[in-house]
Amino acid sequence: MSRTTSTSIEGAAMKTLAYFLLFLVLAFCVILLAVVLGDRGAWYFAWLIGTPLIVLVSAAGAAWLDTHEASASAHGKVHKTH
């Protein structure tokens, strides 16, 4: 194994470690926020959870429409508006 590859592997490992630590810190921040909000600000907490939920449901709805149309056109039933 040459020096350069070993340093690049080390570099990759360091990068993974850095990401791991970053996300670990983020996870702790989220837990802290959730604990504080859950205790003192139930409605704030509901907003924080509810908003991503609303966004994701509406995004999933769009993706569902895509799938629906893709399967319809695959079966040769091109929708009349096309």
**Where along the sequence are the contacts to other proteins (CB under 8 A)?**
40-44, 46-47, 50-51, 53-59, 61-63, 65-66, 68-69, 79, 81-82
- Between residues 13 and 36, which has the closer beta carbon with respect to other proteins? 36
- Between residues 1 and 57, which has the closer beta carbon with respect to other proteins? 57
**Is 70 in contact with 63 (CB distance < 8 Å)?**
no
Comparing CA positions, the residue from 61, 42, 60 lying closest to residue 50 is 42
The identity of residue 31, as a single letter, is: I
In the complex, what is the shortest distance from the CB of residue 9 to other proteins, in angstroms, rounded to a whole number?
25
- Between residues 13 and 78, which has the closer beta carbon with respect to other proteins? 78
**Is 37 in contact with 46 (CB distance < 8 Å)?**
no
